[in-house]
Amino acid sequence: MSELFVELFSEEIPAKLQINARNELKKNIKNFFIDSQIKFNENFNVYSTPNRLVLHVDKIPNEIKLNSEEIRGPNVNAPEKALEGFIRSNNTTLEKIFKKSTEKGEFYFFKRESRKIKVSELLEKNLSEILTKITWNKSMKWANYDLYWGRPLKSILAIFNKKPLNFVFNHINSSNKTFTDKSLEEGLKIFNDFNSYIKFFKQKGILIDQDLRKKIIQNKINEIINKKNLKIEQNERLIDEIVNIVEKPAVIICDFDKKFLNVPSEILITTMQSHQKYLPTFDKKNNLTNNFFVVADIKDTKGFVKLGNERVIEARLSDAEFFWKKNKTQNLVKQVDKLKNINYFKGLGSYFDKIQRMRKLSSLISDDFLISKDKIEIASSICKVDLMSDLVGEFPELQGIVGGHFAKFQGFDKEVCLAVSEQYLPNGMESKLPKKMYSVALSLSDKLDSLVGFFGINLKPTSSKDPYAIRRMAISLVRLIVENEIKIKLKDLVVYTCSAYRDQGYDFDTKKIQNELSDFIIERLKNYLKEKKIRQDIIESSTFLLGLDDLLKAYKKSLCLNKNIKKEIGFETIAVYKRSSNILNTEEKISIETLGFADPGLFKNDYEKKLYKKIDDIRKYFLSIGKDENYEESLKILSSIKKEVNDFFDNVIVNDEDIIIKKNRLELLNMLCKTFDNYFNFSKIET
């Protein structure tokens, strides 16, 4: 049993590309072993530092045995050249070729004896292709070479069973050496196995294993925050990025001047996180502190690193503070007019045009939400002003949030400020969801306006391209509605948005927009339900012929049925429905036209009467419930018909000789199915 150990040494590969390359390499090498029927330790790992992509697989046999097999060659009538080629490619002679008849005709055959192949040879033959199969989200070329890689690839070390594997990958020859100094790309050293490699670097403080780096960084941070009574935000994405931009992590706690804490914390946090990859800290009350973590890639023996980073944050925060002080006093209302100079989108007017439409729309929504029309109109009017501020110029990701702070500073109503702050939320599946009605109203009108606009100028996403993130916009719209359980007439809102555009002189095809947007939003609801792990058949039936006004209803019903489908009430309901609908489906062949109701006067026995009464009761129940249907209760009531249905089937023969009676019984079953369909389209549910 041997190990395969490969190291690909390159210039610094960005974190995201590294993670992707690790996964790709892992997948490709696994497929190779499986396809070649070579046993291997499936719990193998791929490691990386910015400069090194390392593969280590052990428990691999040195040889594999290929069983003897008969290999079919060309047809006996094929030209002689084909036979010659066959002999050559199998490395054999004419004497060993024989003819044999098969179903498809007579062919030449060659019997290959069972044989042993060295795994090292297979690896040498295939590694280059395995590496070629790595796909990069972004790759580059360098110098005169044709190879595409994340960043310039400098050397390949490849070992199997402590011996070098020799292959050529583009312009690079593999060897048993690598550069031990990643900075200068010097210090060539031979390694014959993975352990000595890991050990060598560990002695230099370099950790090849990303999980180990992560643990060490986290432990060190925890040690410090526990001592200082601080907290950090669990930001996995940032931590994972940091882990993959260092090879010998050194956690350093730094601080900045406390005076900057007067600047809104989002601005400080963004400066630290996205610009500098620092980790901000919070006190026990979740207030930002002036302590922050730097994860350096070097031991800061002389204190230069701490000093340098503190100077950098000081300069950056000074800039931010300067802009904050300047922008917060600029009157939001007085600036609204200036939005006329800022294009929202080519073909959709200026931001001034947009907020006019949003104001109309949000004002209409305010009626449904029972919130103040004045307040939501104010929020709509000022919500885009921050786009003109220096702060949003510097920190585009803080649009809205910054506007909210300006509004607060200028004494706007609390709910207005929050709405401005949360107008872009949610932004996709994972993002935070606004809960306050003013925020929801503003966000809804922003998203609807954008969706209608983009569909109006025909910039719908295609199956592969969605450059304006329109899908995300629609998913966010769905989330706003279903997660906040908002009952609105979305269809009317779409129509109203279209008319807001028309009022401004846009020549939109309203009907077309409505139809396309409706399909699009319902498609997003389906994706959303899928993300929520709802069964596909439940998704399909709950969204079948769904109207835009019923997103919430469809969502709640699918959730309810998904939860109960394996429980008695769900299971029984479906069984009852299927039993009835199956008979109807078979009888359809004799084309009985149903009227939609049975005639009680034609009933011959109590079972029919009881079933009829039960159906009637259920119908009355559905008529009595208003908007606030309890879907679980409804399901329970549906399932309660089980006894009547079973009694009916056990004692009544539907297929009566008298065609009128038979038809009446079918009508009864049809009533039952219709009643059930009224709740849910059970016909698409698989049992």
- Which residues in this chain contact other proteins in the complex, by CB under 8 A? 11-12, 14-16, 50, 138, 140-144, 151-152, 154, 183-186, 245, 276-277, 294, 296-298, 300-309, 311-315, 318-319, 322, 341-343, 346
Nearest CA-CA partner of 352 in 504, 470, 457, 499: 504
Starting at the edge strand that comes first in sequence, how are the strands of the sheet with 105-112 ordered?
69-75, 105-112, 97-102
Q: Are 314 and 257 in contact (CB under 8 A)?
A: yes
CA 315, 321, 326 angle in degrees (round to 5)?
Answer: 130
Nearest CA-CA partner of 255 in 228, 233, 235: 228
Question: Residue with structure tokens 């042993």?
Answer: 116
Q: What does the DSSP assignment read for 473-507? A: HHHHHHHHHHHTT----HHHHHHHHHHHHHHTT--
Least separation in angstroms between CB 114 and other proteins: 47
In whole angstroms, give the CA distance from residue 446 to residue 437: 14
Least separation in angstroms between CB 144 and other proteins: 4
Least separation in angstroms between CB 140 and other proteins: 4
Closer of 278 and 577 to other proteins (Cβ): 278
In whole angstroms, give the CA distance from residue 373 to residue 365: 9
Q: Are 231 and 282 in contact (CB under 8 A)?
A: yes
Closer of 17 and 417 to other proteins (Cβ): 17
Least separation in angstroms between CB 342 and other proteins: 6
Least separation in angstroms between CB 300 and other proteins: 7
Least separation in angstroms between CB 427 and other proteins: 22
Position 206, amino acid: I
Closer of 139 and 527 to other proteins (Cβ): 139
Between the two ends of the chain, the Cα-to-Cα distance in Å is 49
Least separation in angstroms between CB 66 and other proteins: 42
Alpha helices in 53-158 (DSSP H): 80-89, 119-132
Closer of 297 and 677 to other proteins (Cβ): 297
Least separation in angstroms between CB 351 and other proteins: 10
Closer of 7 and 587 to other proteins (Cβ): 7
Closer of 144 and 462 to other proteins (Cβ): 144
Instruction: Give the chain's length.
Output: 687
184: helix, coil or strand?
coil
Closer of 255 and 397 to other proteins (Cβ): 255
Q: How many C-beta atoms surround the C-beta of residue 67 within 10 A?
A: 8
Least separation in angstroms between CB 246 and other proteins: 8
Closer of 153 and 444 to other proteins (Cβ): 153
Least separation in angstroms between CB 488 and other proteins: 33
Closer of 36 and 343 to other proteins (Cβ): 343
Closer of 34 and 298 to other proteins (Cβ): 298
Closer of 135 and 515 to other proteins (Cβ): 135
Closer of 327 and 580 to other proteins (Cβ): 327
Please give the backbone phi and psi of residue 10, each rounded to the nearest 5 degrees, phi first: -145, 175
Least separation in angstroms between CB 280 and other proteins: 14
Using N-to-C axis directions, what is the helix angle for 490-503 and 351-369, rounded to 10°? 150
In whole angstroms, give the CA distance from residue 413 to residue 60: 69
Residue 348 DSSP label:
S
Q: Are 569 and 635 in contact (CB under 8 A)?
A: yes
- Report the sign of the C-alpha dihedral through residues 573, 578, 579, 584, in that order: positive
Please give the backbone phi and psi of residue 333, each rounded to the nearest 5 degrees, phi first: -65, -40
Least separation in angstroms between CB 217 and other proteins: 15
In whole angstroms, give the CA distance from residue 242 to residue 352: 41
HEC per residue, 620-683: HHHHHCCCCCCHHHHHHHHHCCHHHHHHHHHHCCCCCCCHHHHHHHHHHHHHHHHHHHHHCCHH
Least separation in angstroms between CB 312 and other proteins: 4
Closer of 251 and 538 to other proteins (Cβ): 251
